[in-house]
Amino acid sequence: MGEESRLAAVVALAQGMAAAHSSREAWRAAAGGARRALGGSFAALSVWERELGRLRVLVNVGELAEGEEEFPEDESYPVHQFAEITEFLHEQWAGGGEPDAWVETAQGPEEGRAGYCHQRVAALRRRGRGCCVVAPIVLHGRAWGELYVARPVGEPVFGRADADFATVLASVVAAGIAQTERLEEARRLAFTDSLTGLANRRAVDARLDEAVELHRRDGAVVSLVVCDVNGLKRVNDTLGHSVGDRLLERFGGVLSLCGAMLPGALAARLGGDEFCLLAVGPSADEVVKAADEVCRRAVELGIGDGVACGVASTEDPIGPVHSARRLFRLADAAQYRAKAERAAHPVVAGRAGPDDPVVRLADEPSREADGERRRFRGRHAPG
């Protein structure tokens, strides 16, 4: 490959990673771009998980061998099997050298050549590959992981020039990963409540819109639990806002713990003393059970006066749910009723018979009720 072709390959790899909207897309773009640039049949990107002492494969692209998956759930290898990431390369860096890539072949190392290749040689043979080039990825001055590109038996073996080019590609991948991490951190902050670490209202809005659309299209059960922390104003006024913040943080932990009873549920703080759980898939009864556990555990916090919980689920007789706002209104009305009755358990919309007062309050609020009840402030159009 000529200099112009290699430059074009580097640019294509960088552009592919820059266009990625998630870490997975960035990993795929990195491995795919490197495979094409080096003329390989297969490529993988792995991360060094120091705390677990292993290299974990993030993505495999190209011609996959038996048992390989594009995004493996748990394909990992003990670091001691590939010790160059912690030993050989570290010694090079400590001496002022650069983390250069190197080549392995299915025949093993040339006589007198240093390296830690026996596991890689075995892997090449097992998967029918003739050679590979391995390039360490360095991020923020530390070993982050490895870029691996292989060719099948019978194809030309990678040479020194390929290894040098792989080193360049690895540095481009490192820059792309750093950019992706910065963008994901920005997105995380935009959708996270800074006090509790839970999702925020913006995240709920986005997820609930998707959930209601899924319900309308496929009939998925969508349930919303709205909680109001009782006694926060009293705590703030008598014990101070720092204690009030601690109450909110502790309740956030309770909500997260109980939300784990519902696979995939989103626990969020909507603002002030308002929290919610959004579940897609679990039955209404499962959601009510989790909400009841929230009420029970909130009483045990020791500060505040427990919570008022309202539940609205598309599985209950609440009428058609064509918008996110209507489900919010129903859950909010159920929570309002729970607060007014000082209920120790969740109030569930639609379960009080044909003339359910919660549904009536949500759908046909009187002027009196409209003035009394707390209402969600949101961007949704009326449902």
More confidently predicted of 367 and 140: 140
**129, 135, 139, 145: CA torsion to nearest 10:** 30
Could you tell me the two tokens for 110?
């040339």
Average pLDDT over residues 110-132: 73
- Quote the longest CA-to-CA distance of the chain: 90
Q: What is the 3-state secondary structure of 11-60? A: HHHHHHHHCCCCHHHHHHHHHHHHHHHHCCCEEEEEEEEHHHCEEEEEEE
Q: How far apart are CA 381 and CA 374, in angstroms?
A: 18
Q: How far apart are CA 275 and CA 306, in angstroms?
A: 13
Rounded to two decimals, the pTM is: 0.58
What integer pLDDT is reported at residue 375 of this predicted model?
43
What integer pLDDT is reported at residue 99 of this predicted model?
60
Strand arrangement of the beta sheet that strand 142-152 belongs to: 76-78, 54-62, 42-49, 142-152, 129-139, 102-105
What integer pLDDT is reported at residue 372 of this predicted model?
41
CB atoms within 10 A of CB 345: 12
Buried b (16+ CB within 10 A) or exposed e, 41-74: bbbbbbbbeeeeebbebbbbbbbeeeebeeeeee
How, if at all, do strands 42-49 and 347-348 pair? unpaired
Average pLDDT over residues 315-329: 93
How do residues 263-287 score in pLDDT, each as one tens digit?
989 999 999 999 999 999 999 999 9
Banded model confidence at residue 51, pLDDT cuts 50, 70, 90: confident
Average pLDDT over residues 23-34: 95
To the nearest 10 degrees (0 to 180), the angle between helices 232-239 and 241-259 is 140
